Amino acid sequence: MSLEAAPSSRPTLPKAPTGIAGFDDITGGGLPAGRPSLICGSAGSGKTLFATTFLVNGTTLFDEPGVFMSFEERSEDLAANVASLGYNLDKLVEDGRIAIDHVQVDRSDIEENGEYDLEGLFLRLGFAVDSVGAKRVVLDTIETLFSSFDNQAILRSELRRLFGWIKDRGLSCIITGERGEGQFTRQDLEEYVSDCVVLLDNRVHEQITTRRLRVVKYRGSAHGTNEYPFLIDAQGISVLPVTGAGLSHGVSSEVVSTGIPGLDAMLGQGGFFRGTSLLLTGTAGTGKTSFSSTMVNAACERGERCMMFVFEESAAQVVRNARSIGLDLQRHADAGLLRFEAARPSLYGLEMHLARMHRDVEAFGPQLVVIDPITAFRGPEAEVQSVLLRMVDLLKARGITGIFTSLMHGGTGATIDADADLGMSSLMDAWVRLTHEEANGEINRTLYIIKARGMSHSNQVREYQMSEAGIGLIEPYIGPEGVLTGSARLSQVAREQAAALRRQQEIERRRREIARRRAAVDRQIQELRAALEAEEQEVTLLHQQDQERESALARDRQAMARHRTAAE
């Protein structure tokens, strides 16, 4: 047998999928099938909800009926508590898919032959399992069950008997336990005999709660060892394996327009590559949200799904403000192409924000995501950078174009503050900087592209204006003192136009003077020509007169000659 074929022939541990998003990924398929698993944690960490989800999903998704044996909550209370997650336990019980048994434990219930044991519990649990043909069992919580045991030897023996009974029946079982001081459970025994131990934690840091999950051990199976944030909300429980980051994602050569013709023209290929991570930085009022809204509008016009995670404005406020630049985002939201997720940064911890965004992106499947702004996140800089890095990896791995806005502090000018972008600039594929420029008592907006990986781009600083017609870039104007913006540009243009007008007027004046001189010369030429012609006529007349005199003299001589001849 070849070495390559050997791993595929290895037996794998049977798994009972929980149907909990993300958890089955980090455990390689779910909890161990036919074995007991311990879900432990402090009060309020979500143990009962986790166990109930395992049971309900097993029944509805995997055709595995179940039994929920509660030692604390009554069945009606349990059904009411999980109804907020969309679970109708009463209907499942009525259909014979789930059996719920509330056991009120006291010494008289489990006393046999002077010693305490769980034989009565085994009979009761066995009956419930047989009544629905259960494949899954939940025991909630085990501390209540063992509260009557004072002898640790008996406790350990009965605990092993319970876990052995579960294995003998082939039941995939969840046992919940309260976390003890410095140990996973109060009895500090369950984790040793359980095949899988999952720790739920509900910690508070700087008055912000974050839920985390960790698989402490998993016999016979590889599993994720990190802490993972998880959510409990109206959509159920979501465990999100977002702590890993890789660089194996693919890339696209497709170019998509930003919806801003002037900005597209500054890029060598007329837009950014699809799947680009774009950083928009600028001081307050430079239009970061307006730029991202314009890009969202362009994507929706192409029929693409978009999501906007906003942390400083409500969705209604973003829609209203976008109307001032000629954008109607509401119609895209009504068409199902645009989804807003607005929350204050203090609503969750960093990991929970990341987990929420991860789940929403997975559920909605957008082609473009906006996070506005990343500087709203508060916490140690290293943790913020880690969360944002994983968000970038999440989008890149799915080929999603990401737009991250960042608020830069300070005054006007185009100085790059390398420490003000939370270390994100080096992770971004493209970086567009929006600035305020102060000149002549006014502030004007300019932008420039710091980088755009994989394509040529303009190195010019361009002025832009926002109006009802949208965002428009103004052609760069370089005056005697450099690039001019705003009224300084208009004043310089007016001065140059006046100078050009003066030059034109001077040229026209000179042309008129030449025309006058040409007319005078023409008149002089005409006069000289007339005088010359008159003189020519006079000469011709004199010549004719001379010829006439000569003719007359000739006639006289002939007459005199005839007269003399006659006299002779």
d(CA 208, CA 346): 7
The proportion of the chain whose per-residue pLDDT surpasses 70, expressed as a percent, equals 82
Q: Taking the domains of the chain in order of start, what are their residue ranges?
A: 15-239, 255-475, 503-557
Distance CA 359, CA 363 (A): 6
Residue type, 209: T
Q: At 125, phi and psi to the nearest 5?
A: -70, -40
Say if 15-239 and 255-475 have the same CATH topology. yes
Tell me what pLDDT residue 444 has.
Answer: 83
Per DSSP, the residues of 93-124 read HHTTSEEEEE----HHHHEETTEE-SHHHHHH
CATH class of 255-475: alpha beta
Average pLDDT over residues 340-360: 78
Handedness of CA 321, 322, 323, 328 (dihedral sign): negative
pLDDT at 294: 95
Q: Give pLDDT, residue 288.
A: 93
Q: Buried b / exposed e across 107-131, counting CB within 10 Å, b at 16+?
A: eeebeeeeebbbeebeeebeebbee
pLDDT grade, residue 349 (50/70/90)? low
Q: Which two tokens stand for residue 157?
A: 């023996």
What's the whole-model pTM score? Answer: 0.67
**What average pLDDT does range 445-460 have in this prediction?**
89
* Residue 180: alpha-carbon gap to chain centroid: 41
Element (H, E) at 540: helix 486-567
Distance separating alpha carbons of residues 451 and 447, to the nearest angstrom: 12
- Is residue 475 over pLDDT 60? yes
- CATH architecture for the domain at 15-239: 3-Layer(aba) Sandwich (3.40)
* Range 288-311 average pLDDT: 94
Predicted confidence (pLDDT) at residue 5 exceeds the cutoff of 70: no
Q: Which of 374, 467, 458, 463 lies closest to 420 in space, CA to CA?
A: 374
pLDDT in tens, 353-395: 777 888 889 889 999 999 988 888 776 777 777 778 888 888 8
Bond before 373 cis per omega within 30 degrees:
yes
Most confident of 343-347, 411-415, 421-425, 514-518: 514-518
Give pLDDT tens digits for 123-175: 888 999 999 999 999 998 777 766 656 666 777 777 788 888 888 999 999 98
Dihedral angle at the C-alpha atoms of 315, 321, 322, 326, nearest 10 degrees? 150
The whole-angstrom separation of Cα 423 and Cα 70 is 50
Residue 227, classed as helix, strand or coil, is: coil
Q: Which carries the bigger pLDDT value, residue 237 or residue 154?
A: 237
In this predicted structure, the answer to whether residue 8 has a pLDDT above a threshold of 70 is no
Q: Over 80: is that where the pLDDT of 111 sits?
A: no
User: What does the pLDDT read at residue 480?
Assistant: 61
Specify the pLDDT at position 12. Answer: 76
Nearest-angstrom CA–CA distance, 345 and 407 = 15
Is the pLDDT higher at 84 or at 333?
A: 333
In the predicted model, what is the mean pLDDT of residues 507-530?
89
Distance between CA atoms of residues 129 and 292, nearest Å: 56
What's the pLDDT score for residue 113?
Answer: 43
